[in-house]
Each structure stands twice: as C-alpha cells, then as structure tokens.
C-alpha cells in the first residue's frame, strides 16, 4: 500500500493509434504498479472530468468552444500534432480533473500522483506539441479559486521547455515556474519561465543533477509555495526518440528523488503529473514513470515538516 493516492482513469488513453506518443502508457503504468505489488487497487482514485468553468479559468472561451464542438481549423489540428476526436477531448478533460484531484489530495496527504497529465505546451488560446489543454494550470487556478492555496510552484523536468506554462503564468507573482530542458529542441519559441535551465545536447546524469540541485536551491530560497506541481518527464532518457539528453533510468530516479527531497525538507506538498516519454522501447518509458512513483513513495515515508 502506498502512503498517498494515485489518480487514474481508463479514459486517460488519448486514442492516438500508431503515434510516437504511446498513449497506452497510462494503462501500462497502472498495470505495472499493480503487478509488481507497488500499489493495490485501494491506492487508486478515479477523477471526474474537469468542469468547463475550471478549464475556462485558463483557456479562452473561443478555444474551449472549438474543442467541445469539433470546430478546430485544419491548421489548429495540425498544430496539436495529435488527431482530433471526441475521445481525445474526453481524455484531456479527465486528465485536468485528475490534476485538480491530485492537487487536493496532495494538500490533504502531503503527496499525490496523477498517472496522466503534464500537458505543458497548451496555451490559453491553442494547443500544440501533443497538448490540448493545460491540466496543471487548470488545477492551480482551481485551487487558488477555492482558497486552498495562494502560491504554487511548477518544477518541470520534461526534456522540452514548458512554454505553455511560462506563457500562462508569465508576470504572475503567485506562481513560480522552473523548467529544466534541452535548449536545442522543441519548442522553437520559449517564453521565459521564472527559471529556465537551458541544457546542451548530450548532458548526462552527474552534470544534470548538479545543475538541477543548484537551481532548486535558488527556487526554494526565493519562493515559498503552498504546493508543488512536479511535471515529471521521462524523455531526458538517453534512448528517447524526441530527446537529445543522455540520462540513464537510474539518473532519472535520482532526479525525482532530488526534487522530492527539496519539497520534503521545505514542508511543501507535492502533486505529480507524468509528462512526456517516447523511448524506443515503451517498457523503458513505463519503468521511468514507475520510478517516479517509487521515488515519491520513498520520500513520503521520511518524516517531514508537512502537516495537513
């Protein structure tokens, strides 16, 4: 039994068919967690889809209408880089509901993980890079609306810069955004995060971890969040098809442990979302995402200053 809840829904599959984004990974992560005895059925919670009013706290009314009515232009669908379908929209609304629920459970229990989510390339008025709506931003805005939090931090370790996150929260002093990413990679346009860590191609475990630790120290020195949303990309992996960094599976697990250690020592509850991952062998992507859950489990078992 895990010391926190996992948020999962069978509807998380984006129904992409033959696509570089392995949308079946959500089910495979759930299955691996159960098969390996890491989690039991009692550790999972199923989310409700996000309410449209919550999606509208981040996204424009025109864009939401297009998504819900299937009236995106061909150019807008092309920019998404995933095929449009009603099932896709259902999955994205579920993922946003999952991140809201993960945020609430993190505030209650100290930790929670949404097996989906992390769609950090979505902007208020359009989607791109496999990301339709920005589940993490929606969750933060809902928690702020409820008065559950005032300040949030987003730590994004996907290999691609969180451009949607940066655009949504730019100039907002209540949300601190940190993105550590390969600089010579998607997206071409990178709006400024609070901290952007632009990494050269081919960086490995030791250098990556040293750089990340230095900037985590700075982030937690400069900002005291009420909750941390951790966007845990599997794509800095050395065998990733869309990445150009050289981290090992062990290095990625140490990355997760480092982020969780800073949150734990600062008494900040953590809501995890599992973001990109496009390894040549999907089993590697699953292992990396499961490793994030294991790192959270180990951190959650260490006494901290967090008190719900």
By annotation, the residues acting in catalysis are: 121
Strand partners, 111: 270
Q: Which element (helix H / strand E) includes 31?
A: helix 25-35
Cβ pair 106, 227 in contact under 8 A: yes
Give the CA angle between residues 43, 48, 51 to the nearest 5°: 145
Question: Could you count the other beta carbons within 10 Å of the beta carbon of residue 21?
Answer: 16
Instruction: State how far the Cα of 38 lies from the Cα of 210, in Å rounded to an integer.
Output: 29
Short-list 102, 22, 53, 62, CA closest to 289: 22
- 189-226 in b/e form (b: 16+ CB < 10 A) is ebbebbbbbebeeebebeebbeebeeebeebbeebebb
């Amino acid at each position: 039994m895990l010391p926190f809840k996992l948020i999962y829904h069978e509807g998380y599959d984006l129904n992409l068919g033959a696509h570089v984004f392995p949308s079946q990974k959500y089910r495979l992560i759930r299955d691996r967690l159960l098969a390996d005895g890491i989690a039991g059925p009692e550790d999972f919670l199923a989310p409700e889809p996000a309410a449209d009013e919550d999606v509208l706290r981040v996204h424009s009314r025109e864009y939401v209408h297009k998504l819900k009515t299937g009236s995106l232009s061909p150019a807008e669908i092309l920019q998404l880089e995933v095929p449009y379908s009603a099932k896709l929209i259902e999955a994205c609304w579920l993922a946003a509901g999952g991140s809201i629920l993960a945020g609430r459970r993190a505030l209650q229990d100290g930790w929670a993980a949404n097996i989906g989510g992390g769609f950090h390339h979505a902007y208020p008025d359009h989607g791109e890079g496999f990301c339709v709506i920005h589940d993490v931003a929606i969750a933060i805005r809902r928690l702020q609306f409820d008065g559950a939090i005032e300040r949030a931090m987003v730590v994004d370790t996907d290999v691609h810069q969180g451009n949607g996150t940066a655009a949504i929260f730019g100039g907002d002093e209540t949300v601190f955004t940190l993105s550590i990413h390969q600089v010579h990679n998607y997206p071409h346009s990178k709006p400024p995060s609070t901290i952007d860590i632009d990494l050269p191609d081919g960086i490995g475990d030791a250098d990556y971890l040293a750089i990340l630790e230095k900037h985590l120290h700075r982030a937690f020195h400069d900002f005291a969040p009420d909750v941390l949303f951790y966007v845990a990309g599997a794509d800095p992996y050395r065998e990733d098809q869309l990445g150009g960094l050289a981290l090992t599976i062990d290095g990625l697990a140490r990355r997760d442990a480092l982020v969780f250690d800073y949150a734990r020592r600062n008494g900040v509850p953590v809501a995890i979302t599992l973001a990109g991952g496009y390894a040549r062998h999907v089993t590697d992507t699953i292992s990396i995402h499961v490793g994030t859950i294991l790192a959270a489990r180990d951190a959650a078992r260490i006494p901290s200053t967090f008190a719900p």
